[in-house]
Structure 1
Amino acid sequence: MNPAPELTGRLALVTGAGRGIGEAVVHALVERGARVLATDVAPDGVRALALKYGGQVVARTLDVTDSQAVEALVAEAEDTLGPLDIVVNVAGVLRTSAVAELTDEDWAATFAVNTNGVFHVSRSVSRRMAGRGTGSIVTVASNAAGIPRTDMAAYAASKAAAVMFTKCLGLELAPLGVRCNTVSPGSTLTDMQRGMWPAGDAQVEAAAARRVIDGDPASYRTGIPLGRIADPSDIADAVAFLVSDRARHITLHDLYVDGGATLRA
């Protein structure tokens, strides 16, 4: 007999699950046997996942910036679906601007999702995991958290804060059996990445991708040594590893999945 998939019997909460990396994480976890509570501020994407996977995926609308809504959803999930074993914080926003032109609203909105949202979800679930003495929390951050980027100060700072928060949480929870790690992608072929490119046809998109791969000295940006932009599944596979028992002795770790783009600076 074939062994059961490695995440069989586990329940995961994924934020930002409606598209991009979050959607890919749902696919990866389900394929490994987990049940998933897929959440997003926009309902259509998570509803499609629930239709695709039936009872293995439950879809809920969630604004991670609303701490009361987060607490209510986590409480409901634990009452109706069972104890949460895995949390993956993926929900994120990107607003690009030079600092001199960066508005108060753009700064606040970026931190509200990328940092406060991670805090709200992780705090709520970790309280419950700590009492059970088991669990895994993964925050999807960015390699921009570890290296300066022009026109991305709010995004980079918010992701750096999310990384350090997750590490501090992991330090507090390690004696209680709960592991906390981060995955930091580089350029990944998502709507967020395409939103930074000129609008156009496939040829225009290919040229924009080539510039990312080659790098841009004018913006102090290295290229990607592996010569390709990541697929969302590349990030999801890293997340799936970190939440599995194969990573049982890994916590407080920040795993860069960027094809070597930051030269691990």
Structure 2
Amino acid sequence: MTPGLDGRLALVTGAGRGIGAAVVTALVDEGVRVVATDLDRAGVETLAARHGELVTSRQLDVTDATAVETLVAETEDTLGPLDIAVNVAGILRDGPVADLSDDDWASHFAVNTTGVFHVSRAAARRMTGRGRGSIVTVASNAGGIPRAGLAAYAASKAAAVMFTKCLGLEVARQGVRCNTVSPGSTMTGMQRALWTSGEEEASARRVVEGDLVSYRTGIPLGRIADPSDIADAVVFLASDRARHITMHDLYVDGGATLRA
């Protein structure tokens, strides 16, 4: 068990699948009670049924500020003080900038950036008054290295990282830590949606080996991440083992960005 997590209460967005679901599972394994939220009600209900009384499922649209504030208030009224907030909810629509619609651009920022703002603000307002708390945002290594065809996604994730760092600076004196985890390619539905149908194996190989045509580096460790790899990093940053870490952006990408 990770020190200081057993019995704590966490809110996780984007928990219906992929990295979000893995984060919920990893927290539950540490004895954390979790409010699992997603726009997809069925996904979080299935997750809650799997984990029993430690997981409460709630439908949530993170772009709706009122809905976020209401859910956080109800969570604290019914389950107790919120100790951890994890922002995982996100969208990705690939394509060159010339082909992006205004809605494509706005939607990326509405979910990936403004959604992080809504949840983090609601959590921080309460955590600062208690003098403790941890907020972790799952961003992307695309926020730190240019990616062809991912301009809106990369820009929105870079904004989420800087927002989280600024928030961390503001609330540090009140004992609240704010960090980000930036995954590289991870075996999720979002990753597979980028691949050509019927060529999944070849697409995965190109991700690992790199692709000069798209100016993409490979993955030095030679594998695509599993969602649990990202979840483990989130749990670490949420725990007391990271008690002296804040405003940090932890890359979990197998070395793909070379951190140049």
The bucket for the TM-score relative to the shorter chain is over 0.9
- Identical-residue share of aligned pairs (%): 74
Q: TM-score, structure 1 length as denominator?
A: 0.97
Q: Counterparts of 1:53-202 in structure 2 under 5 Å?
A: 53-200=51-198
2:10·2:33 contact (CA, 8 Å) conserved in 1? yes
Determine helix, strand or coil for the equivalent of 1:36: strand
Q: 1:245 to 1:144 in 2, by over 3 A?
A: same
Equivalent of 1:41 in 39, 42, 45: 39
1:26·1:38 contact (CA, 8 Å) conserved in 2? yes
Determine helix, strand or coil for the equivalent of 1:256: strand
- Measured in 1, the distance between the counterparts of 2:240 and 2:90 equals 27
Q: Indicate the residue corresponding to 1:24 in structure 2.
A: 22
- Measured in 1, the distance between the counterparts of 2:32 and 2:193 equals 32
How much does 1:227 deviate? Answer: 0.1
2:137·2:179 contact (CA, 8 Å) conserved in 1? yes
Determine helix, strand or coil for the equivalent of 1:188: coil
Q: Counterparts of 1:227-242 in structure 2 under 5 Å?
A: 227-242=222-237
How much does 1:11 deviate? Answer: 0.1
Q: Please identify, of 42-51 and 57-66, the stretch whose mean Cα deviation from structure 2 is larger.
A: 42-51
| Residue 201 (structure 2) pairs with residue 206 (structure 1) | yes
Runs of 4+ in 1 over 6 A off after TM superposition: none
Q: Name the Cα RMSD after superposition.
A: 1.0
- Measured in 2, the distance between the counterparts of 1:250 and 1:236 equals 17
Cα deviations by residue, 1:208-259 (Å, 9 ceiling, x for unpaired): 1001000011111100000000000000000000000000000000000000
Size of the alignment, in residue pairs? 260
Q: Which runs of 5+ in 1 are unaligned?
A: none
Q: Indicate the residue corresponding to 2:238 in structure 1.
A: 243
- Measured in 2, the distance between the counterparts of 1:35 and 1:111 equals 29
How much does 1:4 deviate? Answer: 8.4
Cα deviations by residue, 1:179-225 (Å, 9 ceiling, x for unpaired): 0000000000000000000112xxx3221100100001111110000
1:6·1:32 contact (CA, 8 Å) conserved in 2? no
- Measured in 1, the distance between the counterparts of 2:252 and 2:6 equals 26
Q: Structure 1: which amino acid aligns with 2:35? A: L
1:5·1:33 contact (CA, 8 Å) conserved in 2? no
Determine helix, strand or coil for the equivalent of 1:211: helix
Determine helix, strand or coil for the equivalent of 2:19: helix
Q: 1:4 to 1:100 in 2, by over 3 A?
A: closer
How much does 1:64 deviate? Answer: 0.1
Q: Which runs of 5+ in 2 are unaligned?
A: none
